[in-house]
Amino acid sequence: MRKKIYEIIEPSGNGGKLSSVYDFVMMTTIVVSIFPLAFKTTNSIFQWIDYITVAIFIFDYLLRLITADIKLKKSVASFFLYPITPMAIIDLLSILPSVSVLNSSFRLLKLFRLLRTLKVLRAFKFLRYSKSFEIISNVFKKQKKVLAAVATMAVAYVLVSALVIYNVEPESFNTFFDAVYWATISLTTVGYGDLYPVTTIGRIVTMISSVFGIAIIALPSGVITAGYLSEINKDDE
């Protein structure tokens, strides 16, 4: 029975038409659930949409939880490991904002707007039904050591650049956080223009930082693209 449920709720399962219908219902529910977020005000219709969609999400979460051992193949440990998997966390965070008990508590803390914003995470539930995301996920798993090394390099670059500019231009950057913010947008070559150096030395540091930033940003792009093409070619074989 549980195996049949697993085949139905998993996008890549062998549940036949039932699996396709389930996928369609879930994708429709996701779209409908985030529709009210496009409006600043709420009404009874939006509230009922929220109640119904969150009930479906809870039902889906419970089905995935009781079939966790089939998915993760780790026996009893699967039921404890599943809630901390990325997609399970997204599922849970998309449910919590609509739980009335939590809503009341967070209103007291004046965090209701933040809680409402968490509903946007429901859009990420689409990733479960995306073949392309499955391929990208496999790429990240296989290239995690290389990507971790690049991420470490990027963090080191940001901190070193921030330290340099913070000491070169203390008048332009009031706090070290401002310098870290500047280094981050320099790394991504965005350059909002709200923080910028005014001295010659500071501008030289900015130019060097931007050049290295382009190189660092290009590294993960190349790794992911190569891995993605490799996965696609593997599927075609």
Sequence spans of domains, the chain: 2-129, 144-236
Note down pLDDT in tens along the chain; length 237 residues. Answer: 888 888 888 875 565 788 888 888 888 888 888 888 777 777 888 888 888 988 988 999 999 999 998 888 888 888 899 899 888 888 887 787 776 544 555 444 444 445 555 666 666 776 666 667 777 778 888 888 888 888 888 889 889 888 988 888 888 888 899 888 888 887 776 767 777 788 888 888 888 888 888 888 788 888 888 887 877 777 655
Element (H, E) at 175: none
Q: Of the candidates 95, 23, 97, which has an alpha carbon nearest to the alpha carbon of residue 62? A: 95
- What CA–CA distance (Å, rounded) separates 234 from 237? 5
- What CA–CA distance (Å, rounded) separates 187 from 218? 11
Place of tokens 């089905």: 63
SS3 74: coil
- What CA–CA distance (Å, rounded) separates 27 from 29? 5
SS3 5: helix
- What CA–CA distance (Å, rounded) separates 59 from 126? 17
CATH no. of 144-236: 1.10.287.70
